[in-house]
Structure 1
Amino acid sequence: MSATDILNITLMQGFAGLSLFSVLLLMGLGLAVIFGQMGVINMAHGEFMTIGAYTVYVFSKWAESMGAVATNMFLPIAIVAAFGIAFVFGWIVEWLLIRHLYRRQLDTLLATWGLSLAMQQMFRSTFGPKEVSPTLPDWLMGSWSPAPGLDIPINGLFVMCLAIVLTAGVLAAMYRSRWGLRVRATVNNRTMANAAGIDTKRTDRLTFAIGCGMAGVAGAAFTTIGSTGPTSGSLYIVDSFLVVTFGGAASLLGTVASAFGIAQTQSISEFFLTGSSARVITLLTVVLILMARPQGLFASKVRRV
């Protein structure tokens, strides 16, 4: 094997890490809002991702029945719909369940874990137990070859661009919008935020729903690079919490940095070792760093009530 082949393989493995980074980042952003900003341990976050994935699948079947033009145009609409459906479902869940459990993290963990099991059964009853894949547009198929022997999948590039756009949007919303100001005020001091006229209960509900909507977008992106089943979202929930904890629970920039570090470490390790060994090395690395820096890569603020 020549040096050029080794370089190309390394670059493609690194890009595979970027694809994993994009999915973890999209999932982690939603959790950073829900867990980091609100202190809610949402074990059903992966199922909101599955809602987004199944939304794209349903839209693809509808587009298939409408013809080639619809098949090539449905994906952007499906991604917006994935956010909207997950947002509405998250709003309802917060109103029915989560609003009664604030400041009781163990209770939110148990309640949302039960919710995740119920949602998985709902997916099985609706779509069946087998994994499904949408019919992707022609412009998302194939690969880009910037150099001989180096092939980068276009769907992976699309997922990465989507992650960048959503990350920029979340950062802008958190630090430049009225909603972001209300969230940060509520996190810093709920009593003073109420005294200043902020409806903290509505802010909580909107924040939880937005975090769930982000998970829906993550699912929409995921289904372009992999198949979807009733338990697909649960496979990413541990990694997503790891990303948020490692980066710093209330730090969006920390979420970006930790998602990149974890994805690249795991992807590069898998090239030299087995998948399970690479995962063990990644987890050990994260644990050792957290032992030295328990607050995560970026110091996070503690919510006061």
Structure 2
Amino acid sequence: MTFSDMLNIGLMQGFAGLSLFAVLLLMGLGLAIIFGQMGVINMAHGEFMAIGAYTIYMSAQFTEHMAPGAMAYYFPIAIVLAFGVAFIFGWIMEWALIRHLYSRPLDTLLATWGVSLGLQQCFRTFINPKEVSPTLPEWLMGSWAPAEGLDIPINGLFVLSLTAIVTAGVLLALHRSRWGLRVRATVANRTMANATGIDTKKTDRLTFAIGCGIAGVAGAAFTTIGSTGPTSGQLYIVDSFLVVTFGGAASLLGTVVSAFGIAQTQSISEFFMTGSMAKVLTLSLIVLILMLRPQGLFASKVRR
């Protein structure tokens, strides 16, 4: 094997890590808003990713049967729909359950774990107990070959572009919008935020719903690289918490950096060892770094 072949394999493996990075970052962004900004341990976050993925699948099924000529255009609309459906479910969940459990993190963990199991059973009963995959538009298929022997999947490029747009949107919203100002004020000092006229309960509900909506977008991205089953979300929930904790619970920049580091470490390690050993290596490195820096890579200085 020549050096050029080794380089191409390394680049393709690194790009595979970027696809994982994209899904982890989208999951981590939603979780960073819910866990990092609000202190809610949402163990059902993976199921909101599955809701987004199933929304894409059902949109593809509907379009294929009712308007097959629109198959080339349905996917971007379905992504917006995935965000909307997950947003609505998140809004209802916060109103019905989460708002009663603020400042009780262990209770939110147990309650959302129960919601997670319930949603998984709903997926099995009302959608499909087996894994499903949507029919993707033709423009998402194939690969781009910038050099001989180097093939980069187009769906991976699309997922990276989608992740960049969502990440930029979240950062702009947090630092340039009225909602972001209210979130930051509530996180800094809830009592003072209430005193200045900010409806912190409404802010909490909207924030939780937006975090769930972003998880829905992560599910939409996931459909381009894998099939969706009732337990697909649970495969990413641990990694998502690792991303948020490792980067710094209240730091979106830390979420981006840690998602990239974890995804690339795992992807490159899998080239030299089994998937299980690659996960063990990645987790060991994270634990070691957190022992040296328990606040995470980028700790935000927040007055409570």
Give, in angstroms, the shift of residue 238 of structure 1.
0.2
Query: Taking structure 1 as reference, are residues 109 and 301 closer, same or farther at Cα in structure 2, changes over 3 Å only?
Result: farther
Q: Secondary structure, in 3 states, of the residue corresponding to 1:151?
A: strand
- In 1, the alpha carbon distance for the partners of 2:69 and 2:162 equals 22
Q: Which residue number corresponds to residue 268 of structure 2?
A: 268
Q: Does 1:155 align with 2:163?
A: no
One-letter code aligned to 1:289: I
How do 1:147-296 residues align onto structure 2 when only pairs under 5 Å count? Answer: 147-296=147-296
Alpha-carbon offset, residue 69 of structure 1: 2.7
Q: State the alpha-carbon separation in 2 of the partners of residues 128 and 172 from structure 1.
A: 38
**Partner Cα separation in structure 1 for residue 299 and residue 231 of structure 2:** 33
Q: Which amino acid aligns with 1:107?
A: D
Q: Secondary structure at the match of 1:192?
A: helix
**Cα offset, 1:225, TM superposition:** 1.0
Q: Note closer, same or farther for the CA distance 1:302–1:208 as it changes in structure 2 (3 Å cut).
A: same
SS in 2 for 1:232: coil
Which residue number in structure 1 is paired with residue 111 of structure 2? 111
**Residue 101 (structure 1) aligns with:** 101
**Matching residue of 1:130:** 130
Q: Distance in 2 between matches of 1:108 and 1:46?
A: 15
| Residue 303 to residue 204, structure 1, CA distance change in 2 (3 Å) | farther
Q: Distance in 2 between matches of 1:251 and 1:129?
A: 37
**CA distance in 2 between partners of 1:66 and 1:151 (Å):** 35
**DSSP 3-state at the match of 2:72:** helix
Q: Which amino acid aligns with 1:241?
A: F
Q: Matched residue pairs, number?
A: 304
Q: d(CA) in 2 for partners of 1:43 and 1:217?
A: 17
Residue 171 of structure 2 aligns with an amino acid whose one-letter code is: L
Counterpart code for 2:223:
T
CA–CA distance in structure 2, aligned partners of residues 265 and 157 of structure 1:
20
Structure 2: where are the runs of 5+ without partners? none
Cα 1:301–1:120 change in 2 (3 A) is farther
Identity %: 79
The alpha-carbon deviation at position 302 of structure 1 amounts to: 4.8
Q: How much has 1:63 moved relative to structure 2?
A: 1.3
Q: CA deviation at 1:68?
A: 4.2
Residue in 2 that maps onto 1:74: 74
Separation in structure 2 between the aligned mates of residue 67 and residue 31 of structure 1, nearest angstrom: 36
Q: Once structures 1 and 2 are overlaid, which stretch shifts more, 64-73 or 98-107? A: 64-73
Residues 159 and 191 of structure 1: is their aligned pair in 2 closer, same or farther, counting only changes over 3 Å? same
Structure-1-length-normalised TM-score: 0.98
